[in-house]
């Protein structure tokens, strides 16, 4: 008999991404005795520096930001009870169109096969039963999220691994509630122009296309605290303005699209490990 523990691997782009989209499932499955592995692909060096200083502003030190964000990432993992943290430490590429997209060592300009080969080593080591990453558009078009999808799917093909594979997503009904919450808590929130509104409307999926709805309400406090551990990025983390109770009400169910499966578990499902236990 194979005594290897059931294992969840989440592949994310930056420090703090683990808490936003998968903090609930990481905490829930850790509590259920499942081994949880987080792979963070970049160093987060395009994030805010001390005092909220932005990239390319005087005083922004990418190396110092990366060190600070690594410490915050470790704190978040402790809160979520992540079993193993693996970092690929590519340079943060910044948002689409930033000059950092093409900087030497940036994740975005790294050949997919190179990043995939490194991730394939981790797949072989941990042999995850479930792998979670972003969809092909990186959920909202961030270059590092797109690259995380590319290296994950390529690494799975390289290793001929057959775990259940999921892409994070959000139901369109939830996106509408997000907009309402932003108006509720963001005093300076302004309606996007028509082009931005059209792009936002494409984020997520119609509710009926979501395959997997995981209730993580009981772990909302851990998820909130894990996100709050990334204090240096607090200005950019809108959800922290809500407080834990409202945050859990809005973010207490994490949703996914199942894109690879050998179990035959029926969908919609409410457990990433349906058919595996």
Instruction: Identify whether the C-beta of residue 79 lies closer than 8 Å to the C-beta of residue 30.
Output: no
Q: Which of 57-66, 102-111, 135-144, 242-251 has the lowest mean pLDDT?
A: 242-251
Per-residue pLDDT tens over the stretch 168-201: 998 888 766 666 666 666 645 455 555 544 555 5
Q: Which residues contact 258 (CB under 8 A, 6 or more apart)?
A: 164, 165, 166, 211, 212, 267, 269
Q: What percent of the chain has pLDDT over 70?
A: 89
DSSP label of 263: S
Sheet strands (E) in the chain: 7-12, 35-42, 84-90, 130-133, 164-169, 212-215, 253-260
Backbone angles phi, psi at 269, to 5 degrees: -125, 165
- Residue 137 clears pLDDT 50, i.e. is over it: yes
Alpha-carbon 208 to chain mean position: 22
Q: Taking residues 243-249, report their average pLDDT.
A: 88
Mean pLDDT is lowest, of 25-29, 67-71, 94-98, 121-125, for 94-98
Measured CA to CA, the distance from residue 15 to residue 45 in angstroms comes to 10
Is the pLDDT score of 236 beyond 80? Answer: no
pTM as predicted? 0.91
**Letter string b/e over residues 54-82, b meaning 16 or more CB atoms within 10 A of that residue's CB:** ebeeeebebeebbebbbebbebbbebbbb
Q: Give the model's pLDDT for residue 243.
A: 85
Kindly report the backbone phi and psi dihedral angles of residue 271, in degrees, each rounded to the nearest multiple of 5, phi listed first: -155, 125
pLDDT at 1: 42
Q: What is the pLDDT of residue 176?
A: 67
Tokens of 116: 């995939």
pLDDT tens-digit series, residues 192-228 = 555 544 555 567 889 999 999 999 999 999 999 999 9
What average pLDDT does the chain have?
90
In this prediction, residue 272 has a pLDDT band, given cuts at 50, 70 and 90, of: very high
Q: Please give the Cα distance from 95 to 138 (Å, whole number).
A: 12
Per-residue confidence (pLDDT) for residue 189, from 0 to 100: 45
What pLDDT score was predicted for residue 182?
Answer: 64
């Amino acid at each position: 008999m194979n005594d290897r523990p059931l294992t969840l691997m989440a592949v994310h782009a930056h420090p703090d991404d683990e808490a936003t989209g998968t903090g609930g499932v990481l905490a829930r499955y850790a509590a259920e005795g499942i081994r949880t592995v987080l792979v963070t692909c970049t160093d987060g060096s395009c994030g805010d520096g001390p005092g909220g200083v932005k990239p390319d502003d005087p005083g922004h030190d990418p190396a110092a930001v990366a060190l600070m964000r690594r410490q915050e990432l470790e704190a978040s993992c402790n809160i979520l009870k992540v079993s193993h943290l693996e970092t690929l430490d590519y340079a943060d590429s910044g948002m689409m169109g930033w000059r950092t997209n093409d900087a030497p060592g940036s994740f975005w300009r790294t050949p997919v096969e190179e990043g995939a080969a490194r991730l394939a080593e981790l797949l072989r080591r941990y042999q995850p039963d479930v792998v979670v990453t972003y969809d092909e558009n990186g959920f909202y078009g961030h270059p590092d999220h797109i690259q995380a999808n590319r290296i994950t799917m390529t690494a799975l093909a390289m290793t001929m691994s057959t775990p259940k594979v999921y892409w994070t997503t959000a139901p369109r009904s939830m996106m509408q509630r997000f907009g309402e919450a932003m108006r509720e808590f963001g005093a300076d929130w302004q309606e996007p122009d028509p082009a931005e509104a059209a792009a936002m409307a494409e984020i997520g999926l119609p509710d009926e296309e979501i395959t997997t709805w995981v209730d993580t309400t009981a772990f909302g406090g851990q998820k909130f605290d894990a996100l709050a551990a990334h204090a240096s990025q607090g200005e950019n983390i809108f959800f922290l303005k809500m407080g834990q109770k409202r945050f859990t009400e809005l973010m207490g169910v994490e949703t996914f699209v199942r894109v690879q499966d050998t179990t035959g578990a029926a969908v919609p499902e409410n457990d990433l490990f349906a058919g595996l236990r």
